[in-house]
Amino acid sequence: MRSHRRRIATATAVLAVGALALAGCAKGGGGGAPSGAASKPPLENKAVSAITVGTAADSTGPAPEVAGAKPGGTANMIDRDDFSHLDPGRVYLNYNAMVSALFTRQLTNYKEDASGSIKLVGDLATDTGTTTDGGKTWKFTLKDGVKWQDGSAITSGDIKYSFERLFADFITEGPIYAQSWLVPDASKPYRDQYKGPYDGKELDTIETPDDKTVVFHLNAPHPDFNFTVAMTGYGAVPKAKDTKQKYDKQPFSSGPYQIVSHVTGKSLDLERNPNWDKTTDPIRHAYPDKFHMEFGLQSQQSTERFLADTGSDKQAFTFHNPVAPERVQEVLNNPEAMKRSLQGLTPFTTFYNINTKRVTDVNVRKAIITAWPSKQLQQLQGGETAIGKIATTVMSPTVLGYEASDLYGKLAKPDGDPEAAKKLLAQSSTPNPTIVYAYNQTPVQEKVTIAIKDALSKAGINVVAKPLNSATFYDAIGPVDNEYDVYWGGWAADWPTGSTAIQPLFDGRLIGDNQSNYSHLNVPEINTAIDQANTITDPTEAGKAWAAIDRKIMEQAAIVPEFYQTYFGLYGSGLGGVRFDPIQGEQSALDIWVK
């Protein structure tokens, strides 16, 4: 299977850390963060790591009513960029997924209740699917009453076709998990084994015994396939309305809204889909009559408009734009603005890879982590609200099975513990090591690098800093035989289980040039544990297995965890029901209503 796409952190943190914007599931943002920004802790969504798989009863509609909500009006959305893709097969960015939720439905999806607890539930399907062979064969049954915007029924044939068209050569931007699992040999390019439906050929690994039933025959067990198909990239597309490349501009709706106008780079307008039946949908509401979306605003501009809170901006929200870093403290000190703010942990975790191919002594690696000045780096990059919470594990708290752990005492001594690091070095083969640290050459990162050199030198570790051009950063660190010992990275799971949070980064069998295992960790015990975890069908037990692997990786000191990234955003006073989506790490429109 093709290596999982690199997932790089969003918004403020990307540019504050100086990382380049890469293809992946996060949408980049703008602006650096000032020194000494707010220290007030953001709200945490603690329910996400305890995500559960819902029942058929949980999958029925309608979604519970939002307190005080009423129908009518127009909700406005202001943001930096237009949506790069709306064809579900080409959606991988979280930003695109957030708007797609208004008009694209999948077999499964995530349902959040008023307390913040999250369940995987059936969206188009009656439940989250069934498997009787450990996850190699999956059966889904469609709900009665699910329809396209023209009133025609959504059938199992539509679902099969939606997966078949993902093999077309013009669909290259979306996830590729299912495609690789639905061909005979997952180790070979999936398009070499099936070319898609446009030449009239069907994919025989998907069966549709009747209009309501779809059965997937995978080439290996995947117990969390029901999480896979919750991705927008596996949303439904009707064969009769498939316009191939043109579908990206005008997808056919299966959700509560439909597109009526899209001026590329300027605006997108949605109105109600009259054939959406709320009794089939446990997730979405359709309170506003319309959505008007405006593009081209940087975070500084949207923050200014939200703070002014005048005219139509009172009825505005943003999917992605965070509070501008230089205004964070101002907002935190503004009680009125804080009443209409959202804070939460995103799925994104950042860290520093330790190249285990070069830094071979585990005690040296442990000493690097122990001496690392986590708190100082957090402050240099804007503080907890702007950049994130200090991380101590591989998995984010937003991943099923996350267990809090701090093997190196980073929370107790967040500025580093040079004395403890010296003791580790004394047990190593190199008591006074020299490491080569590669970094993006930006003003913020120059300060970060000075702090790292100073902290590690106190422990007896000499740091040779190598500045890299941000445009070629990943080209430089990508080769397995690169010249660096420590370098930054970031990741978020494609769905909230350990299989996409850990395996792409730490499976030693996936090591290769420009692949995701930048630490080049290859421990047979961990590789075997990954294989075993991938066979566990019970989500809770699988979560425990991934948490144990997380601990093994940290024992190997393959990374210095940096931050669990946070989101901090505003919306207008004339909207209710605006909430933070912890799965995507952005504002959600599904409960919004106009006051």
Q: How many CA atoms lie within 13 A of 87 on its CB side?
A: 23
Residue 5 scores a pLDDT above 60: no
- Residue 333, Cβ density class (10 Å: 0-12 exposed, 13-18 middle, ≥19 buried): exposed
Domain 88-94+104-250 has CATH 3.40.190.10: yes
Residue 175 structure tokens: 């996830």
For 282-305, write each residue's pLDDT tens digit.
Answer: 999 999 999 999 999 999 999 999
The Cα diameter of the chain in Å comes to 72
Burial 568-587 (b: 16+ CB within 10 A, else e): bbbbbbbbbbbbbbbbbbbb
Check residue 360 and give its pLDDT. 98
DSSP string over 437-496: EEEE-SHHHHHHHHHHHHHHHHTT-EEEEEEE-GGGHHHHH-STT-S-SEEEEEE--SSS
Indicate the pLDDT class of residue 35, thresholds 50, 70 and 90: very low
In 3D space, the residue among 487, 368, 364 whose CA is nearest the CA of residue 418 turns out to be 368
Integer CA distances (angstroms), 35 to 328, 377, 384, 444, 545, in order: 11, 10, 12, 9, 39
Check residue 424 and give its pLDDT. 98
Residue 47 scores a pLDDT above 70: no
Q: What's the rounded Cα separation, in Å, for the pair 106 and 112?
A: 16
Check residue 515 and give its pLDDT. 87
Torsion of CA 397, 403, 407, 412, to 10 degrees: 60
Residue 139 scores a pLDDT above 80: yes
Torsion of CA 254, 141, 2, 136, to 10 degrees: 180
Q: Positive or negative CA dihedral for 105, 108, 113, 117?
A: negative
Q: Distance from CA of residue 222 to its chain's centroid?
A: 20
Q: What's the rounded Cα separation, in Å, for the pair 588 and 580?
A: 6
Tell me the average pLDDT across 472-490.
95
- Contact between residue 321 and residue 78 where contact means Cβ atoms under 8 Å apart: yes
Q: Positive or negative CA dihedral for 147, 152, 153, 158?
A: negative
In 3D space, the residue among 63, 122, 580, 556 whose CA is nearest the CA of residue 287 turns out to be 63
Check residue 48 and give its pLDDT. 57
Look at 139-143, 181-185, 325-329, 455-459 and tell me which has the smallest mean pLDDT.
325-329
CATH number, domain 11-43+344-567? 3.10.105.10
How many other CB atoms are found less than 10 A from the CB of residue 114? 10
DSSP assigned state of 199: G
In 3D space, the residue among 309, 571, 557 whose CA is nearest the CA of residue 435 turns out to be 557
Check residue 386 and give its pLDDT. 85
For 216-273, write each residue's pLDDT tens digit.
Answer: 999 999 999 999 999 999 999 999 999 999 999 999 999 999 999 999 999 999 999 9
SS3 531: helix
For 542-583, write each residue's pLDDT tens digit.
Answer: 999 999 999 999 999 999 999 999 999 999 999 999 999 989
Check residue 20 and give its pLDDT. 23
Look at 39-43, 276-280, 495-499 and tell me which has the smallest mean pLDDT.
39-43
Residue 501 scores a pLDDT above 60: yes
Q: What's the rounded Cα separation, in Å, for the pair 214 and 223?
A: 17
Residue 37 scores a pLDDT above 70: no
In 3D space, the residue among 409, 99, 101 whose CA is nearest the CA of residue 236 turns out to be 101
For the chain, what's the residue count?
A: 595
How many other CB atoms are found less than 10 A from the CB of residue 239? 14
In the chain, CATH 3.40.190.10 covers 88-94+104-250
Residue 13 scores a pLDDT above 50: no
In 3D space, the residue among 161, 113, 103, 135 whose CA is nearest the CA of residue 228 turns out to be 135
- In the sheet where 316-317 sits, what is the strand order? 257-263, 267-272, 290-295, 74-79, 316-317
Check residue 564 and give its pLDDT. 96
What pairing do the DSSP bridges indicate for beta strands 316-317 and 74-79?
Answer: parallel
DSSP assigned state of 3: P
Check residue 49 and give its pLDDT. 58
Check residue 514 and give its pLDDT. 87
Place of tokens 């068209």: 165
Residue 35 amino acid letter: S
Integer CA distances (angstroms), 252 to 35, 154, 207, 242, 247, in order: 47, 12, 24, 8, 8
Residue 2 scores a pLDDT above 60: no
Phi and psi for 563 in degrees, rounded to 5?
Answer: -135, 145
In 3D space, the residue among 533, 539, 566, 538 whose CA is nearest the CA of residue 551 turns out to be 533
For 391-434, write each residue's pLDDT tens digit.
Answer: 999 999 999 889 999 999 999 999 999 999 999 999 999 999 99
Question: Cis peptide leading into 88, omega within 30 of 0?
Answer: no
Residue 437 structure tokens: 């640290």
Residue 83 scores a pLDDT above 80: yes
Residue 477 amino acid letter: I
